[in-house]
Structure 1
Amino acid sequence: MADHPYIGIWVTKDGQIRHELSADNRYEEARGKRESAYQGHYQVTGNYIEYWDDTGFTADGEFIDGVLYHAGMVLYRKE
């Protein structure tokens, strides 16, 4: 998984929402100045991603043409 193409940081155009997808299948979501708004684990199957927050919240998304669509948000890979 360490070399998976979706590992890294994904951000909204305005930079307010940031997802960091780690190679150990953990994620951290930052919102505005709140760096650790959500944390949990994720699983990628093909282009589909499922999130399980440590508090029990679940969500999903899809990678299409290098863009992550998640819960009404559009996130782009941070270079």
Structure 2
Amino acid sequence: MSDGSASHPYVGLWITADGQIRHELLAGGRYDEARGVCEIAYRGRYEVTDNHIEYWDDTGFTADGDFIDGVLHHGGMLLYRR
């Protein structure tokens, strides 16, 4: 997120309907991704521009997604605000 504001509407927990994938978008532009029982599968930084999110994992992996009608579309998954 460009300004790192905690009041940004996308900061917080995003989760798939089955609960297996969880993205926690932290204030300040960092994120944690949990997968199943692994609480920190990936960790890195992110930026949101308008409704588009770019991820940079600490290992160098990159990904992106889009927020459409209150749903995060990322890597073929749908994540919902929790």
Decide: shared fold, TM above 0.5: yes
Which residue number in structure 1 is paired with residue 8 of structure 2? Answer: 4
Q: CA deviation at 1:2?
A: 1.1
- Percent same amino acid among aligned pairs? 71
Which residue number in structure 1 is paired with residue 48 of structure 2? Answer: 44
Structure 2 regions of 5+ residues with no counterpart?
Answer: none
**Normalising by the residue count of structure 1, what TM-score does the alignment of the two structures yield?**
0.98
**Normalising by the residue count of structure 2, what TM-score does the alignment of the two structures yield?**
0.94
Q: CA deviation at 1:6?
A: 0.2
Q: CA deviation at 1:34?
A: 0.2
Q: CA deviation at 1:71?
A: 0.5
Task: Give the Cα–Cα distance (whole angstroms) in 2 for the partners of residues 2 and 73 of structure 1.
Answer: 25
Which residue number in structure 2 is paired with residue 34 of structure 1? Answer: 38
Alpha-carbon RMSD across the aligned residues, in angstroms, is: 0.3
1:53 to 49, 54, 57: 57
Residues paired across the two proteins, number: 78
Q: CA deviation at 1:37?
A: 0.0
Structure 1 ranges of 4+ moved more than 4 A: none
Q: CA offsets, 1:29-64, max 9 Å, x none?
A: 000000000000000000000000000000000000
The one-letter amino acid of 1:26's match is: R
Which residue number in structure 2 is paired with residue 72 of structure 1? Answer: 76
Structure 1 regions of 5+ residues with no counterpart?
Answer: none
